[in-house]
Amino acid sequence: MNIHEYQAKEIFRSHGMPVPPGEIATSPEAAAALAEEYGGRVVVKAQVHAGGRGKAGGVKLAAGPEEAAEAARAILGMQIKGLTVHKVLVTPAAEIASEAYVGIVMDRASQRPVFMVSAEGGIDIEEVARENPEAIHRQPIDPRYGLLNHQASRLAFHLYDDIGVVRQASDVLQRLWHAYEDSGATLAEVNPLVVTPDGDVVAIDAKMNIDDNELFRQPDIAAMRDEEAEASSERRAREAGLSYIKLDGNVGCCVNGAGLAMATMDLVKYYGGEPANFLDIGGSSNPDKVVAALSIIGEDPHVRSILFNIFGGITRCDDVANGIVEATDRLELDLPITIRLTGTNEEEGVAILEEHGFQAMIDMDEAVQRAVGAVS
């Protein structure tokens, strides 16, 4: 689950990290009132689940209440990476002498959390990783011990020379580790971690992703879910019990089982197509899920062709066939649909589809090739 910057900052604060104060505004007037309260310069920041807000115009410095209202007016309602901004964070502006990147990600390759720090902060870390990978210093963490003192110092020395700053930064890194671990996060990052001209270390940005499987034991964090901020397709998929991840291609995939979904996407690419999504309707036999899945896929304006790939085990082909018939009746989809259906109750499923003018295919390769070829 994604949370907003202001929510990640609350978590960071509760772990004693140096984070500037800040509050949420949903109107220009409220932003002006907060700027008044803080006095002096403030920053008005879009709260959306997307990085690169600065580049997109979603982070603005304001000299006082009037400029803060103006900034909020510009940012509220703005689209950043397809997401609409409904809230801004208003926070006193920090003076910046230097910007660094510090973050922890769950690294599947090394099967443990890895700390990453870079003196090239403020810019996209993916860009640093691509263009200047040696500027990123890594430290895998043994979860039994957490971030050890000497590791924290070494990471901090990688960023700073001044011993006072190094000590503060090591402390921030330790606290960041605890915030990450206690929250069940898969990512916790500060970009930029700044040093002020007075030599204070401050976290002026915050980003956290929480492992969905942790939410049942993290009720305070689970309550941070902001449905308004989620892409509507992702919210609807979650509500319908589907695993759905939107991608950039144009072949919509509706598959039962995560492994088969991955194999289907591989095959779509193999035959020269680009999958529009990962979608696993799961193992149950529920026609409603098929209806929800098809409507979510059909709403993606990039989708030019839809591919069903169903291997009936617990899922019954006739249920899926009924779901497809029902969904295509209810939704006005003007897209070619290719259906591959095999396994439990295959004959019944094929019969239902043929009765309604669909052709069902048995071979996965052929079906994928046809779906890729149907993109116009």
* Catalytic machinery residues: 101, 189
Q: Which residue number, 205 or 346, has a Cβ lying nearer to Mn ion?
A: 205
Q: Which residue number, 93 or 351, has a Cβ lying nearer to ligand GDP?
A: 93
**Cα gap 190→121, rounded to integer Å:** 9
Listed in sequence order, the residues at least 6 apart from 60 whose beta carbon sits closer than 8 Å to its beta carbon are 43, 44, 45, 71, 74, 75
Rounded to a whole number of angstroms, the minimum distance from the CB of residue 318 to Mn ion is 51
Q: Which pairing describes strands 337-343 and 277-280: parallel, antiparallel, or unpaired? A: unpaired
Q: Which member of 139, 168, 191, 233 binds Mn ion (CB under 5 A)? A: 191
Rounded to a whole number of angstroms, the minimum distance from the CB of residue 51 to ligand GDP is 5
Listed in sequence order, the residues at least 6 apart from 341 whose beta carbon sits closer than 8 Å to its beta carbon are 308, 310, 312, 317, 320, 321, 349, 350, 353, 360, 361, 362
Closest CA to 116 of 168, 145, 158, 150: 158
Residue with tokens 């609807």: 236
Site for ligand GDP in 164-183 (CB under 6 A): none
Q: Which member of 62, 176, 195, 204 binds ligand GDP (CB under 6 A)? A: 204
Tell me if 52 contacts ligand GDP by CB under 6 A.
Answer: yes
Tell me if 5 contacts Mn ion by CB under 5 A.
Answer: no
Q: Which residue number, 205 or 319, has a Cβ lying nearer to Mn ion?
A: 205
The number of C-alpha atoms within 13 Å of 22 and in the hemisphere containing its C-beta is: 32
- The one of Mn ion, ligand GDP, none whose footprint includes residue 94, by CB under 5 to 8 A per kind, is ligand GDP
**Residue type present at position 373:** G
Residue with tokens 């929250």: 183
Are the beta carbons of 42 and 91 closer than 8 angstroms?
Answer: yes
**Cα gap 190→5, rounded to integer Å:** 10
Tell me if 318 contacts ligand GDP by CB under 6 A.
Answer: no
CA dist list (Å): 204 to 10, 46, 194: 12, 14, 7
Question: Which DSSP category does 304 fall into?
Answer: -
- The one of ligand GDP, Mn ion, none whose footprint includes residue 52, by CB under 5 to 8 A per kind, is ligand GDP
Q: Which member of 33, 70, 73, 122 binds ligand GDP (CB under 6 A)? A: 122
Q: Which member of 33, 74, 78, 93 binds ligand GDP (CB under 6 A)? A: 93
Stretch that binds ligand GDP, among 48-56, 69-77, 135-143, 274-282 (CB under 6 A): 48-56
Rounded to a whole number of angstroms, the minimum distance from the CB of residue 356 to ligand GDP is 48
- CA angle 113-118-120, nearest 5°? 145
Q: Which member of 94, 148, 331, 364 binds ligand GDP (CB under 6 A)? A: 94
Tell me if 318 contacts Mn ion by CB under 5 A.
Answer: no
Are the beta carbons of 6 and 47 closer than 8 angstroms?
Answer: yes
Q: Report residue 345: phi and psi, to 5°.
A: 60, 35
Stretch that binds Mn ion, among 18-26, 188-196, 233-241, 324-332 (CB under 5 A): 188-196
Tell me if 60 contacts ligand GDP by CB under 6 A.
Answer: no
Q: Which member of 67, 189, 205, 280 binds Mn ion (CB under 5 A)? A: 205
Q: Which member of 4, 13, 53, 304 binds ligand GDP (CB under 6 A)? A: 53
Q: Which residue number, 59 or 361, has a Cβ lying nearer to ligand GDP?
A: 59
Residues engaged in binding ligand GDP (CB under 6 A) = 43, 45, 51-54, 59, 93-94, 96, 99, 122, 191-192, 204-205
Point out which residues bind Mn ion (CB under 5 A): 191, 205
